[in-house]
Amino acid sequence: MDTPNTVAVAIVRQLKAWGVDVVFGAAGDAIIPLIDALAAEEGIRFHASRREDAAAFMASAYAKLTGKPGVCIGTSGPGAVNLLNGIADAAQDRVPLVAITGQVESTYVGTAYKQHFDHQILFRAFAAHTAQLANPASAAALVSRALKTGNRG
């Protein structure tokens, strides 16, 4: 298979390499490339929900029932915020959950652009690890670190 040339493809391939077989989420502009990459990759499926909070709770329940990391995705801005309750639920029960959010285009990061805010500040209260990924070359290391950190319980 070709070397990943997008962040989305790199993330999906790394999730699959770690044995992730399902990702829960609600579609949104900033994560359409990730949903497309999930659709193109065999052995990992996207389970759509209407809202991000439901996706995060599904991922938390999946982790509780299987012992495997739950993975959820949400778009930037309000979509990312909607993941919080499910992330907090997983954190309280000390189950592995990885939340992946979209972000505005890099040219708009740090500006007052619509739906931009610093996700790391928001998620730090609930997450053992949080980072912003912008380069496909960093995806393997960053996703691995998130999964290793989440599996420590």
139 and 10 Cβ atoms separated by less than 8 Å? yes
Please, what's the largest Cα pairwise distance for the chain?
A: 41
Question: pTM of the predicted model, to two decimals?
Answer: 0.84
Q: What are phi and psi of 43, to 5 degrees?
A: 90, 0
Q: What are phi and psi of 35, to 5 degrees?
A: -65, -40
In this model, does residue 51 exceed pLDDT 70?
A: yes
102 versus 83: the higher-pLDDT residue is 83
Q: Per the structure block, which two tokens stand in for 150?
A: 């989440």
Domains annotated on the chain, with CATH: 7-144 (3.40.50.970)
Distance CA 133, CA 27 (A): 19
In this model, does residue 133 exceed pLDDT 80?
A: no
What percentage of the chain exceeds 70 in pLDDT? 83
